[in-house]
Amino acid sequence: MVACALIDVDGRVLVARRPEGRPMAGLWEFPGGKVRPGESPEAALVRELGEELGIRTRESCLAPLTFASHAYPDFHLLMPLYVCRVFEGTPRPREGQELRWVRAAELAQLPMPPADRPLVAMLRDLLS
């Protein structure tokens, strides 16, 4: 898994709400997804952002920020979080998710998966 804090020109972060029928439905998360075999995390994010949001970016526009390490009941997640400020297009929900641009300080008020929670403080520090 890999995730991205997409940041707009106003310093807001894009979050996506997981749709009904999916694990952790209703929770807000950073866009991203699975890394395919043989794929780098950066290449996976470029692909996932295109598939999920219809935007284009390049690997060189992704900066590693931190990572999440969380033990779920059936697996352990180690997920890098990248920051992206340079992208083309307007993010649109392409997989049934709801999208919202929020200030970093607002992230703490959103219900998020346990693995995403620790990432909020790092983003708040970066953007304040």
Q: Which residues of 63-86 are buried (b: 16+ CB within 10 A; e: fewer)?
A: eebbbbeeeeeeeeeebbbbbbee
pTM for this model (two decimals): 0.93
Q: Which residues of 93-125 are buried (b: 16+ CB within 10 A; e: fewer)?
A: eeeebebeeeebeebeebebbebbeebbebbbe
Write the pLDDT tens digit of every residue in 66-110.
999 999 889 898 999 999 999 999 999 999 899 999 999 999 999
Q: Percentage of the chain with pLDDT > 70? A: 100
DSSP class of residue 36? P
Helix residue ranges, H only, the chain: 41-53, 117-127
| In contact, 69 and 77? CB cutoff 8 Å | yes
pLDDT in the model for residue 31: 96
pLDDT in the model for residue 35: 96
pLDDT in the model for residue 37: 97
Q: Could you tell me whether strands 13-17 and 28-29 are parallel, antiparallel, or unpaired per DSSP bridges? A: antiparallel
Model confidence at 51, in pLDDT bands (50, 70, 90)?
very high
